[in-house]
Amino acid sequence: MSEQHGAEDAVQAEWPLYEIFVRGKRGLNHVHVGSLHAADDEMALRHARDVYTRRNEGVSIWAVRANAIAASSPDEKDPLFAPAADKVYRHPTFYKIPDNVPHM
């Protein structure tokens, strides 16, 4: 009886969340496609295969524990991205080159 109860406690603690990345075909980056729960890494990959690649959507899968990902704030006002805005000289269009100069 106490074992039964222990099993229920284990269920209450949900399987960890994994973020899933799929490489669509050779030559492309892995792209985030969604997330799922799994007890361990191997199960995460097996579930990801069934949930996200039922129609040949990929040739390779990465499964990453969600709590292992360090993330910046997605907020565009985030000062992290602010310094990029005033460095227009990093873009090729900043430089004026005469039209008669070829291949540039």
Partner 1 sequence: MTATPEVSPGAEQDLLDHFEATISRNDRIEPRDWMPEKYRGTLVRQIAQHAHSEIIGMQPEGNWITRAPSLRRKAILLAKVQDEAGHGLYLYSACETLGVSRRQLTDRLINGTQKYSSIFNYPALSYADVGTIGWLVDGAAICNQVPLCRTSYGPYGRAMIRICKEESFHQRQGYELLMTMMSGTDEQRAMVAESVDRFWWPSLMMFGPPDDESPNTRQSMAWGIKRDTNDELRQKFVDMTVPQAEALGVTLPDPDLHWNEERGQYDFGQPDWAEFHAVVKGSGPCNAERIAHRRRADDEGAWVRAAATAFARRSQTSGQLGRPISGKESDR
Site string for partner 1, 17-56 (x = CB under 8 A): x---------------xxxxx-xxxxxxxx---xx--xx-
Q: Which residues pair with 8 in a beta bridge?
A: none
Q: What is the per-residue burial (b if ≥16 Cβ within 10 Å, else e) of 27-59? A: eeeeeebebbebeeeeebeebbeeebbeeeebe
**Counting beta carbons within 10 angstroms of the beta carbon of residue 97, is it exposed (0 to 12), middle (13 to 18) or buried (19 or more)?**
exposed
Residue 70 touches partner 1, criterion: CB under 8 A = no
In the bound complex, what is the minimum distance in angstroms from residue 95's beta carbon to partner 1? 30
7, 28, 80, 82: which one contacts partner 1 (CB under 8 A)?
7
Binding positions for partner 1, rule: CB under 8 A:
7-8, 10-15, 17, 33-37, 39-46, 50-51, 54-55, 62-63, 71, 73-75, 77
